[in-house]
Amino acid sequence: MNPPPESTSASPIRAVDVIRKKRDGAELSRTEIEYLVRGYTTGEIPDYQAAAWLMAAVLRGLTRAETAALTDAMLRSGEVLDLSAFPAKKVDKHSTGGVGDKTSLILAPVAAAGGLLVPMISGRGLGHTGGTLDKLESIPGFNVNLSVLQFCRVLESCGCAMIGQTAEIAPADRKLYALRDVTGTVESPYLICASIMSKKLAEGIDGLVLDVKTGSGAFMKKEEDAAFLAELMVQTGERMGKKMAALITDMDQPLGLRVGNALEVEEVLQVLRGGGPEDLRELCWELAAWMFHLGGLAATITQGRHTAEQLIVSGQALEKFRQMVTLQGGDASVIDNPGRLPKPRHTLDVVSPKSGYVKAIQCESVGTACVILGGGREKKEDSVDPAVGLVLHKKVSDRVTTGEPLCTIHYNSQALADRAKKLVEESYEIANAPPAHPRPLVHRVITTSVEAN
Amino acid sequence: MNPPPESTSASPIRAVDVIRKKRDGAELSRTEIEYLVRGYTTGEIPDYQAAAWLMAAVLRGLTRAETAALTDAMLRSGEVLDLSAFPAKKVDKHSTGGVGDKTSLILAPVAAAGGLLVPMISGRGLGHTGGTLDKLESIPGFNVNLSVLQFCRVLESCGCAMIGQTAEIAPADRKLYALRDVTGTVESPYLICASIMSKKLAEGIDGLVLDVKTGSGAFMKKEEDAAFLAELMVQTGERMGKKMAALITDMDQPLGLRVGNALEVEEVLQVLRGGGPEDLRELCWELAAWMFHLGGLAATITQGRHTAEQLIVSGQALEKFRQMVTLQGGDASVIDNPGRLPKPRHTLDVVSPKSGYVKAIQCESVGTACVILGGGREKKEDSVDPAVGLVLHKKVSDRVTTGEPLCTIHYNSQALADRAKKLVEESYEIANAPPAHPRPLVHRVITTSVEAN
């Protein structure tokens, strides 16, 4: 253990006193939180003091003011994009992660086609959930590693751009997240909120729509936990002057019918062409409507939905997607010819063992099956196979007969396919009747800045 | 941050899972606690994981089983003295620290003279409290840094020996304490218990009497906090097969009349010669009686007190002290000629500003006054001046008249004396009447292994 820094006259705050204050349940001042974040980012405050503080924060919780101060300090630990030269309203969407959730790839071009600027910085898949960057990279040549300058040029040309985290954005979050990962301090709504919001607000946006997932495939299985985090993020964003809305949406079964990187891009293209699965379309129009509403382009959610649907029907959203793919170095020919996307060597059906109705799908297991096939990551360092995944034929409430395919597994390794098949078989629950009360797609909307509907 | 160790097949436990388990309030198994302590001591588990675990332990608390497992693991991180070759019962005393508390220097020779073996490993002063080792070192030549072999030889010759912490004893505690000190995780009764008990039980003792201080000069100002820690330590010791008793004793004013290293040795000699202040004598007989009782040499506490007083009257305790001082290299001539102890260059009286009664003495301030004079340590690295300190002339409930000395300051630096004087003046509260309900010396006794009185 290296000794902690001595307090100096320039910095009369001592880390140990700040830790003790939080340990005892008192509220930290903005100055104290800034001291911690800056000190940890520069390396002045050692890992062990940050770890003790994080655990105290997990167990004592943070007030709304502390959460906002933490978010702000983390945000200002790095570069904040200055998009003020762009006249359009900047609105982004963030999802807490799910299985088959490809909405970002649809929403960015839809919103840009409607006149918003969408500077989307996304993540990779981790655990059982997929990641936007992995999906985009299944398009041959698509480059998610743009510099800030390149990112701004794509934004200027087509109104949307989708990249990964850069070294300049919120370095405090990167360092803190790595520490949280190994010190059991990930699972705190306050720390999760500050982590998400610091990165999103560094995009220099005016408004943010949050898609907070709940159910068996979400990180927050319980709706009240999802709602708590959603409220925290909405309040934090509003304290920082942003237009905010959070939708608590269902992740008790996969979204859409396809899970896996290239497979999901195919489904994105279906939706952008006016087709695609009902639940995915429905959620996209709802989220797009909120983006338009927060960006001042739709007075009501109904009007926003109408705008989104028109942008699909007119083909403008698809054109926007084509532009973005081209500008980011991707092979745009896949758009008209999805057969050029990466394909697996084999497919295999999982069939229903009996007749009846799909009562439930253990959604996390479906996500894990995709990871097992090679379509996701168990560890950060893992590479992904863009071709593999699952195509569902049956979802909750669907009727099935004995031997009818529930799902088709797309794979490159028989051994992995066998493991995935077993997981999928176990994840489908077939009963004599469909669920009496199917779960809604949107559980509730949390917002204070605007009127819903 | 260096990466944490990967789990290996030989060690299926992962530190992060143990941290999360404690964070969520679950009880850790003995194996999990051993894994943490061993891993941290060897350096396999990094500081930041230990810090997160410590904070979770502070805020979630530990069960009795966890506290005992932690104590045991820390104890076994180093050497445990094997005193089985000695036929006598081995009984020690430990105090949580106070001002003017010189009982150890009296109890060790009294208990040894009565037939117990007292292998006493003590600490130095820190903060406002004094330390046994600093007091002993005011005797010219007294060596507290004996090897384990030398320690055993002194024990064999005279039945008691007093040394400092060695590198071999409970190294886990030394490493954990240093981390706790800078991560705000000192103040936890569970961690304090494990720290104290692991070191004391490494002495290879059969029984332990705890003197848990409460009041304005104690670390635990509130009696309920002192009682909680005392019960925890008694239960932990008993789980580990030791005879245990804890006395909650008063530290709302200094114990005895002298505070400061050489000054306290003078008072020790007074008591060993049959004199000395009433409260100090009283507490010594009570603690000695419990030591004899736990060691099976006294059926009752009354009988134990009688034994202790007889050992003073007969001069046997003083002779035992003389033997120990000689065997540990000290100048035993100070025993008959206390004038040979270190003396300050100056003295200065603090007088009463009015007539009345001493209603209270802010005990921590008196301890701090001694530290300011140079008699204690603000930081671990500080050296102490053995000659300085305070001689109280008035204690709580005493009558005083205007201008009458309350206390004499023994000092070597005028500037420091001025600061100490101000503190002492502020610490005496003079009122028209003595306190209506003077605090008892022994607040309560906590023990389950034996019958009190």
B211 contacts B230 by C-beta, under 8 angstroms: no
Q: What is the pLDDT of residue B347?
A: 98
Using CB atoms, pick whichever of B19, B175, B182 lies closest to residue A183.
B19
**What ipTM is given for this predicted complex?**
0.87
- Dmax (CA) of chain B: 77
Is there a catalytic annotation at residue A410?
no
Using the Cβ of A335 and the Cβ atoms of chain B, whether some distance falls under 8 Å is answered with no
Using the Cβ of B128 and the Cβ atoms of chain A, whether some distance falls under 8 Å is answered with no
CA separation (Å) from A387 to A196, A262, A269?
29, 6, 16
- Compute the half-sphere exposure of residue B99: CA atoms within 13 Å on the CB side of its CA: 30
Using CB atoms, pick whichever of B23, B46, B183 lies closest to residue A184.
B23
Q: What is the pLDDT of residue B4?
A: 55
CA separation (Å) from B404 to B51, B278, B391, B426?
52, 21, 14, 16
The distance from CA B131 to its chain's CA centroid, rounded to whole angstroms, is 7
Using CB atoms, pick whichever of A20, A183, A187 lies closest to residue B184.
A20
Which residues are within 8 A (CB) of B390 and not within 5 positions of it... i.e. 6 or more apart?
A: B258, B259, B260, B263, B366, B369, B370, B373, B407, B408, B409, B410, B420, B424
Contact B23 A49 (CB under 8 A): no
b/e sequence A163-199, b meaning 16+ C-beta within 10 Å: bbbbeebbbbbbbbbebbebbbbbebbbbbbbbbbbb
Closest chain A CA to residue B22: A184
Mark which residues 11-30 of A lie under 8 Å from B by CB: 15-17, 19-20, 23
Is there a catalytic annotation at residue A84?
no
Q: What are phi and psi of A8, to 5 degrees?
A: -115, 170
Closest chain B CA to residue A184: B20
Which residues of B are catalytically annotated?
A: 94, 173, 180, 195, 199
Using CB atoms, pick whichever of B15, B16, B54 lies closest to residue A52.
B54
B106 contacts B122 by C-beta, under 8 angstroms: no
Chain A positions touching B50 (Cβ under 8 A) are 48
DSSP β-ladder status, A389-392 and A258-259: antiparallel
State which H helix or E strand residue B63 sits in. Answer: none
Closest chain A CA to residue B48: A48
Contact A46 B50 (CB under 8 A): no
Using CB atoms, pick whichever of B15, B49, B184 lies closest to residue A19.
B184
Q: Rounded to a whole number, what is the distance in Å from the CA of A329 to chain B's nearest CA?
A: 35
Which is catalytic among the residues A60, A89, A90, A94? A94
Per DSSP, B374 falls in state I
Q: What is the pLDDT of residue A354?
A: 97
Using the Cβ of A185 and the Cβ atoms of chain B, whether some distance falls under 8 Å is answered with yes
Q: Rounded to a whole number, what is the distance in Å from the CA of A263 to chain B's nearest CA?
A: 34
Closest chain A CA to residue B24: A59
Using the Cβ of A51 and the Cβ atoms of chain B, whether some distance falls under 8 Å is answered with yes
Chain A positions touching B19 (Cβ under 8 A) are 55, 183-184
Q: Rounded to a whole number, what is the distance in Å from the CA of B23 to chain A's nearest CA?
A: 7
Q: What is the pLDDT of residue A129?
A: 87
Closest chain B CA to residue A17: B184
Using the Cβ of A172 and the Cβ atoms of chain B, whether some distance falls under 8 Å is answered with no
Which is catalytic among the residues A104, A122, A188, A195? A195
Is there a catalytic annotation at residue A180?
yes
Contact B3 A182 (CB under 8 A): yes
Mark which residues 53-82 of B lie under 8 Å from A by CB: 54-56, 58-60
Which residues are within 8 A (CB) of A228 and not within 5 positions of it... i.e. 6 or more apart?
A: A189
pTM beyond 0.95: no
One pLDDT digit (tens) per residue for chain B, 453 residues: 555 555 444 557 899 999 999 999 999 999 999 999 999 999 999 999 999 999 999 999 999 999 999 999 999 999 999 999 999 999 999 999 999 999 999 999 999 999 999 999 998 887 888 899 999 999 999 999 999 999 999 999 999 999 998 888 899 999 999 999 899 999 899 999 999 999 999 999 999 999 999 999 999 999 999 999 999 999 999 999 999 999 999 999 999 999 999 999 999 999 999 999 999 999 999 999 999 999 999 999 999 999 999 999 999 999 999 999 999 999 999 999 999 999 999 999 999 999 999 999 999 999 999 999 999 987 777 889 999 999 999 999 999 999 999 999 999 999 999 999 999 999 999 999 999 999 999 999 999 754 444
A262-277, pLDDT tens digit by residue? Answer: 999 999 999 999 999 9
Q: What is the pLDDT of residue B128?
A: 87
Chain B positions touching A15 (Cβ under 8 A) are 182
Which is catalytic among the residues A22, A90, A128, A180? A180
B439 contacts B279 by C-beta, under 8 angstroms: no
One pLDDT digit (tens) per residue for chain A, 453 residues: 555 555 444 557 899 999 999 999 999 999 999 999 999 999 999 999 999 999 999 999 999 999 999 999 999 999 999 999 999 999 999 999 999 999 999 999 999 999 999 999 998 887 888 899 999 999 999 999 999 999 999 999 999 999 998 888 899 999 999 999 899 999 899 999 999 999 999 999 999 999 999 999 999 999 999 999 999 999 999 999 999 999 999 999 999 999 999 999 999 999 999 999 999 999 999 999 999 999 999 999 999 999 999 999 999 999 999 999 999 999 999 999 999 999 999 999 999 999 999 999 999 999 999 999 999 987 777 889 999 999 999 999 999 999 999 999 999 999 999 999 999 999 999 999 999 999 999 999 999 754 444
Q: What is the pLDDT of residue A352?
A: 98
Radius of gyration of chain B (CA): 22
The distance from CA B308 to its chain's CA centroid, rounded to whole angstroms, is 20
Contact A48 B183 (CB under 8 A): yes
Q: What is the pLDDT of residue A453?
A: 40
Using CB atoms, pick whichever of A17, A48, A178 lies closest to residue B51.
A48
Using the Cβ of A177 and the Cβ atoms of chain B, whether some distance falls under 8 Å is answered with no
Best A1, A2, A36, A42 member to test B by mutation, with max B CBs in 10 Å, is A1
Q: What is the pLDDT of residue A128?
A: 87
Q: Tally Cβ neighbours within 10 Å of residue B127.
A: 14
Structure tokens at B97: 């620290």
Contact B59 A23 (CB under 8 A): yes
Q: What residue has token string 């789990």? A: B7
d(CA A389, CA A102): 14
B146-162, pLDDT tens digit by residue? Answer: 999 999 999 999 999 99
- Compute the half-sphere exposure of residue A331: CA atoms within 13 Å on the CB side of its CA: 14
